[in-house]
Structure formats: C-alpha cells, structure tokens
C-alpha cells in the first residue's frame, strides 16, 4: 500500500508543525492550509486522499468546509482533529461527512490507527469521546433526536385540538401561532410518539384522556 | 353685561367673517336704540310734569349703551342725557303748588342717576381688562410651560434611546470581549497544551515500555496537563460557548439544556423548528444569553421539576418560549423590587437586536418567558 496523500488544514502554525512531524513516516504530506476556503481551493491541485482538518478555523469553519468538500470531492476522506470533545461536535462532524474524529491530545497515539481505518473504508472515533457520545445517544436529547414520549405544554395543546377535530388553520388561530408552526408541532409530536397517521394521533390523545370531549 | 361683551368678542374672534358682520350690525342697532330711547325720554320729559324721564329712565339708556362695544358710547350717552335733562328743565310743565327747588332738585338727582352708573361701569370695565390681562398672561405662561414640558419629554425620550443604544453597545462589547478571551483560551492556550502533551507522549514512547521512575513522573505530568486542558476548555466555554459559532444556536441550546438537566436534575424538554434563515452571531448570542439567564433563574428560584424550551418560527421572527412548572412569583412584586434587574438585563439584551421579551408568572403556577427576535436582520 502506497503512502496516502494528506492535506492538512489548521490555522495554528504550531499545530501544523507538530502534525508534520507526526505524519512524516505515515503518509505523504502534500500541503498545509490555514482556513476552510483555502482548503477547498487547493484540493483540485493537490489531489489528496485524506484531508485532516480542525473545526474552529477562520473564513470557513471545518464543519462547513467538510460539507462542501464531500459534495464536490466525495472520494476524499475527511479526518477531524480538534480540541472539541463535545458529542454535538462529533455528531456534526460525521453529519458533514467525516470518516474519523480525533482529539489533538491523542493524535500521537491514534493518528496511525485512524488513518488505517479510514483507508480501509471504516470510521474511527477516539475513545476519549466515545463515552460522551454513547451517553448522549442513549439519552436521546442530543443531536435533534426525538426526545421521547413526553410532550411540552404547547405540544399537548396542539395534540388536544387536533384530536378534537380542529383544522390546522383553526388551531393556529386559537393558539395565535402560524399554521406552519402548528404543522411543525404535529410532525414533531408524531415523530416523538412514533405515530404515522392523524388517526393514530387522535387515538393516542383519546387514550391519554387529552380531549375535553367524552 | 361683562360676560356678555366678553362672549361677543370671543364669537367675533373665533367664528370668522359673517359673525363679525352680524355683531357689527347689532352694535349699530344698539347705538340707534340708545339714541331713540334718549329722544323718547326727552319728549316725555318735555311733555310730562316733574320730568318723568329723569334719573331711572336715563340711566337705563346709559346701561344700554354700556352693553355695546364702543367705549365712547356710554360717555357720549351720559353727556347727551345730561344736556337733555338740563335743556328740558326750563321747558317741562310744572306741577302747580310745588316749590321750584323741588323740580330743580329732581333734575339734579337725574344727573346723579345718569353719572353714577357710568362710574360703576367704568370700574367694571377696568376690572374686566385687568382680568383679561391676567388671563392672557396665565395662558402665555401655560403655553411656555407646555412647550418646556414637550421639550423635556423629547429630551427624555432621546436620552432613553441613547441609554438603550449605549446598553446595547456595552452588552455587545462585553460579549465580543468574552468571545475573544474564550478564543484565546481555546485556540491558543489549549492548542499549545495539546502540543505539549504530544511532545511529552513522544518522550514517553522513546523511554520505552520498561517501567521507570522517569516514566511515572511523565505520566503524572501528562495527567496534570490533561486536567489543565480540560479546565481551560471549561473556562473558555463559560466565557463564550464556541459551539454557538461553530454549530449554531440549536446545538448550543441542546448542550446548554443538557448541562442544565444533569446539573440540576430538572427534566428539560427541547423543541426546535428548523430555521430557513441564518441567524447572525449577535442575535443568536443574545438569545442564548437570555435563555441561559432564564435557566439560571429557574435553577435558583423556581424549584421546578420540568423545563420546556421551544424555538419556533413565526412569520418574520423567531419565538422562543422557556416554560417551567416551578413556584412562580407575584409579578407585581417583582416589578417593584430589585428582582426586576435580571429581567431588565434580558430585555436590554434582546432590545439590542430589535427583539423583545415578556414574562408571565403566577405564584404556584410556574413561569413562562417568551422572547421574540426578528429574523430579517442582515448577517454581520
């Protein structure tokens, strides 16, 4: 296996320097850039196999850069190396098309392993964040996942009015919100309760004793 | 007679040309009437014995002329009437058997009857003029004060506006400063710490796998560095959550609620409608701070078991509702007391991005904070 061509994007010269030393024996470093836009502009010329980038960068941040990059050059693998251990960042990174997520402090030990994983088409997440990621996954609050069957006051109001047979427009008028917002609440409720039709929704409301009709 | 003239003047001033015309006609009519009455009384004086048309009757003519607008009319009337009285004295018929001094006395009494009302009238006129003058001066004073009041109200409004601008600027500057400190901590200090750790890890690898005292020391140092790095990261987050700039309001709020729930044990529900518009940094930071403030109020005072945060899009703006099921409070009491300061801060923050904020609370029935920011703002 030939050495992979790697392009490095980070706005800290010190970090670039440090990484260069680490990467020397594991890959062919084809260039370094300081921000997201420069990264996108240099890809056609440098033709990297892997792009290693930070999230916090000036001009265009890493997440947005990765999103554009994966649309324009889907064959290029994206590896995030950052300071952020927050599960929200991890999620955002993988949503943007990342193949690996590492923290700067563990790069020395994990970079080689991560690059190997990425080259063979797998994903890599540093063990330093997996605990938080798994916990947030189980909690289900994080990352926009439906937050379970518990509804907010407004959601219950919308559900009750729906179950009582009011139209979306009526409900919007009653609650003084826009019909679009009512539709949003309806969709959100159905998603949260794992219901698929309005009939199911009404049944649920009746079962919960949510309607004022007997 | 006084009020009557005043009313006439008023009517003449306020209701234009035709009224002025009719008033003139009335004045002229009055002069004619006075003249006619004078002639009539003179004739009576001449025809009837003892001068019937003296005193009372002539004074009626004087009174009538006083009701007119013409200042000169009462005096002219009085002079004319006096002249007529004197003129009629030698020619009027006599009552037989009555001494001459009686008739002459009667005529002198007539003169008194003519001039006394005039004195009374002129005094009345003078008082009226004085009153009018005082009235005018008072009105002028009121006008000046009204103008003063309007000017000071304008000044007050302007200074209030300036205060809002200034507060907004201070808040923005503070937020900028915090953002800068957070960035320095996160992007500079922490990056260097990470590099330091990388270097030490390299040393660690070079020492080899054989356990030694040096390696133990190194591991302890590394552990310390890691903790320091975590602390710095937390400090940076407290100054300014970079997640807000990197991943946007939704992710930042999720993180905020997550932290809130795990710190306080209060159940947190979060509903967020997808945004079509990009919120600019200033607006999303302002919203974030106000929501943060609401949550910290809930943690401190509300004794809530449940918090709901809803972000929805309404026509032109973003509506955020933070609702808790806690103890609530008496709104009037908060408005009076210093407890309104946090609320004022929230209002000012939203005002600086053209937003607004409302709080509704009742003792025992929780608190609802509703915020609104317009979405049409051009991203800066």
The pLDDT, as a whole number, for residue B9 is 42
Across the range A13-42, mean pLDDT stands at 84
Closest to B242 (Cα-Cα) out of A130, A96, A13, A54 = A54
**What's the pLDDT band for A105 if we cut at 50, 70, 90?**
confident
> What CA–CA distance (Å, rounded) separates B320 from B301?
21
The pLDDT, as a whole number, for residue B52 is 57
Structure tokens at A112: 């080689």
The minimal CB distance from B246 to the residues A22, A63, A180 is found for: A63
Of residues B371 and B116, which shows the higher confidence score? B371
Q: Which chain A residues are closer than 8 Å to B191 by Cβ?
A: 12, 14-15, 83, 104
The pLDDT, as a whole number, for residue B14 is 43
A27-43 burial string, b = 16+ CB within 10 Å, else e?
bebbbbbbbbbbbbebb
Q: What is the ipTM of this complex?
A: 0.78
Does B321 sit within 8 Å of A154, measured CB to CB? yes
Q: Name every residue whose Cβ is closer than 8 Å to that of residue A6 and which is 6 or more positions away in sequence.
A: A23, A27, A28, A29, A30, A48, A49, A50, A51, A52, A115
pLDDT score of B11 more than 80: no
Q: Which chain A residues are closer than 8 Å to B261 by Cβ?
A: 141
Residue of B nearest to A172 (CA): B314
> What CA–CA distance (Å, rounded) separates B87 from B92?
9
> What CA–CA distance (Å, rounded) separates B13 from B6?
11
Q: Which chain B residues are closer than 8 Å to A180 by Cβ?
A: 313
The pLDDT, as a whole number, for residue B19 is 60
Does B315 sit within 8 Å of A88, measured CB to CB? no
> What CA–CA distance (Å, rounded) separates A116 from A124?
9
Does B254 sit within 8 Å of A141, measured CB to CB? yes
Calculate how close chain A gets to B334, using CA atoms only, in Å.
25
Interval A66-92: pLDDT, tens:
999 999 999 999 999 988 888 888 988
> What CA–CA distance (Å, rounded) separates A51 from A44?
12
Does B226 sit within 8 Å of A105, measured CB to CB? yes
Does A61 sit within 8 Å of B243, measured CB to CB? no
Does B195 sit within 8 Å of A104, measured CB to CB? yes
Percent of chain B with pLDDT over 70: 88
The minimal CB distance from A184 to the residues B233, B258, B312 is found for: B312
Residue of B nearest to A56 (CA): B246
Across the range B116-122, mean pLDDT stands at 83
Q: Are B268 and B309 in contact (CB under 8 A)?
A: yes
pLDDT score of A144 more than 50: no
Sheet of A50-53, strands arranged across: A28-33, A5-9, A50-53, A77-82, A100-103, A124-125
Best mutation target among A108, A149, A186 (most B Cβ atoms within 10 Å) is A108
Q: Are B284 and B371 in contact (CB under 8 A)?
A: no
Does A147 sit within 8 Å of B269, measured CB to CB? yes
Of residues A60 and A94, which shows the higher confidence score? A94
> Which of these ranges, A95-104, B33-42, B44-53, B239-248, has the smallest mean pLDDT?
B44-53
Of residues B166 and B209, which shows the higher confidence score? B166
Percent of chain B with pLDDT over 90: 15
Phi, then psi, of B318 in degrees rounded to 5: -105, 130
**At B273, is the secondary structure helix, strand, or coil?**
coil
Does A142 sit within 8 Å of B258, measured CB to CB? yes
**What's the pLDDT band for B291 if we cut at 50, 70, 90?**
very high
Please provide the average confidence, as pLDDT, over all residues in chain A: 84
Interval A153-174: pLDDT, tens:
888 888 888 888 888 888 888 8
Write out the H or E segment, with its range, that includes residue B367: strand B367-374
Residue of B nearest to A61 (CA): B246
> Which of these ranges, A7-16, A62-71, B67-76, B171-180, has the smallest mean pLDDT?
B67-76
Torsion angle defined by CA atoms of residues B101, B105, B106 and B110, in that order, rounded to the nearest 10 degrees: 150
> What CA–CA distance (Å, rounded) separates B176 from B194?
25
Q: Name every residue whose Cβ is closer than 8 Å to that of residue A121 and which is 6 or more positions away in sequence.
A: none
**What's the pLDDT band for B276 if we cut at 50, 70, 90?**
low
Across the range A190-214, mean pLDDT stands at 80
The pLDDT, as a whole number, for residue B158 is 94
Q: Report DSSP letters for B191-236, one per residue.
A: HHHHHHHHHHHHHHHHH-SS--HHHHHHHHHHHHHHHHHHHHHHHH
pLDDT score of A204 more than 60: yes
Does A143 sit within 8 Å of B254, measured CB to CB? yes
Q: Which residue has the tokens 């709020």?
A: B253
Closest to A92 (Cα-Cα) out of B251, B193, B288 = B251
> What CA–CA distance (Å, rounded) separates B58 from B52?
10
pLDDT score of B101 more than 50: yes
The pLDDT, as a whole number, for residue B100 is 75
Phi, then psi, of B93 in degrees rounded to 5: -65, 150
The pLDDT, as a whole number, for residue A94 is 92
Best mutation target among B246, B308, B326 (most A Cβ atoms within 10 Å) is B246
Best mutation target among B180, B193, B198, B323 (most A Cβ atoms within 10 Å) is B198
Calculate how close chain A gets to B219, using CA atoms only, in Å.
14
pLDDT score of B169 more than 80: yes
> What CA–CA distance (Å, rounded) separates B74 from B81?
10
DSSP symbol at A102: E
**What's the pLDDT band for B147 if we cut at 50, 70, 90?**
very high
Q: Which chain A residues are closer than 8 Å to B268 by Cβ?
A: 141
The pLDDT, as a whole number, for residue B153 is 94
């Amino acid at each position: 296996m030939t050495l992979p061509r790697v392009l490095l994007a980070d706005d800290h010269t010190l970090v670039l320097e440090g990484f260069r030393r680490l990467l020397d024996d594991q890959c062919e470093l084809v260039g370094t850039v300081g921000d997201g836009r420069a990264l996108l502009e240099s890809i056609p010329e440098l033709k990297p196999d892997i792009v290693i980038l930070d999230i916090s960068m000036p001009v265009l941040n890493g997440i947005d850069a990765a999103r554009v990059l994966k649309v324009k050059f889907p064959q290029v693998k994206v590896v995030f190396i950052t300071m952020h251990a927050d599960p929200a960042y991890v999620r955002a990174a993988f949503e943007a098309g990342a193949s690996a997520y590492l923290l700067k402090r563990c790069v020395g030990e994990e970079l080689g392993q991560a690059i190997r994983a990425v080259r063979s088409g797998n994903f890599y997440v540093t063990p330093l964040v997996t605990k938080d990621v798994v916990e947030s996954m189980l909690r289900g609050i994080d990352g926009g996942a439906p937050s379970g069957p518990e509804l907010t006051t407004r959601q219950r109001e919308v559900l009750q009015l729906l179950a009582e047979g009011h139209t979306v427009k009526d409900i919007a008028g009653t609650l003084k919100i826009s019909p679009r917002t009512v539709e949003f609440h309806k969709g959100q409720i159905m998603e949260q309760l794992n219901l698929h039709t309005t009939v199911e929704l009404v049944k649920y409301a009746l079962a919960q004793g949510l309607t004022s009709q007997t | 007679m006084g009020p009557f003239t005043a009313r006439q003047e008023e009517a003449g001033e306020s209701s234009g040309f035709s009224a002025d015309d009719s008033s003139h006609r009335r004045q002229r009519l009055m002069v004619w009437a006075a003249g006619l009455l004078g002639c009539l009384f003179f004739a009576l004086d001449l025809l009837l014995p003892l001068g019937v048309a003296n005193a009372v009757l002539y004074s009626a003519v004087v009174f009538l002329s006083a009701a007119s607008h013409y200042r000169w009319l009462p005096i002219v009337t009085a002079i004319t009437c006096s002249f007529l009285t004197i003129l009629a004295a030698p020619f009027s018929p006599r009552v037989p058997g009555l001494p001459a001094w009686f008739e002459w006395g009667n005529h002198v009494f007539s003169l008194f009857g003519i001039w006394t009302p005039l004195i009374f009238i002129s005094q009345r006129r003078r008082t009226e003029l004085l009153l009018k003058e005082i009235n005018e001066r008072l009105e002028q004073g009121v006008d000046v004060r009204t103008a003063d009041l309007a000017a000071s109200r304008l000044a007050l409004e302007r200074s209030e506006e300036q205060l809002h601008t200034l507060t907004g600027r201070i808040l923005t500057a503070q937020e900028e400063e915090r953002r800068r400190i957070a960035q320095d901590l996160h992007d500079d200090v922490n990056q260097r710490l990470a590099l330091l750790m990388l270097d030490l890890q390299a040393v660690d690898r070079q020492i080899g796998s054989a356990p030694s005292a040096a390696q133990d020391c190194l591991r302890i140092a590394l552990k310390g560095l890691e903790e320091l790095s975590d602390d710095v990261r937390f400090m940076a987050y407290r100054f300014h959550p970079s997640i807000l700039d990197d991943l946007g309001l939704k992710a930042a709020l999720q993180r905020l609620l997550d932290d809130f729930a795990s710190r306080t044990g209060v159940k947190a529900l979060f509903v967020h409608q997808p945004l079509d518009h990009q919120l600019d940094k200033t607006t999303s930071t302002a919203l974030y701070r106000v929501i943060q403030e609401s949550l910290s109020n809930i943690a401190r005072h509300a004794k809530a078991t449940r918090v709901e945060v809803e972000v929805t899009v309404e026509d032109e703006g973003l509506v955020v509702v933070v609702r808790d099921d806690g103890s609530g409070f008496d709104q009037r009491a908060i408005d009076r007391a210093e407890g309104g300061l946090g609320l004022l801060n929230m209002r000012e923050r939203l005002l600086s991005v053209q937003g607004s904020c409302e709080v509704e609370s009742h003792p025992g029935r929780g608190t609802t904070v509703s915020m609104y920011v317009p979405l049409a703002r051009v991203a800066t």
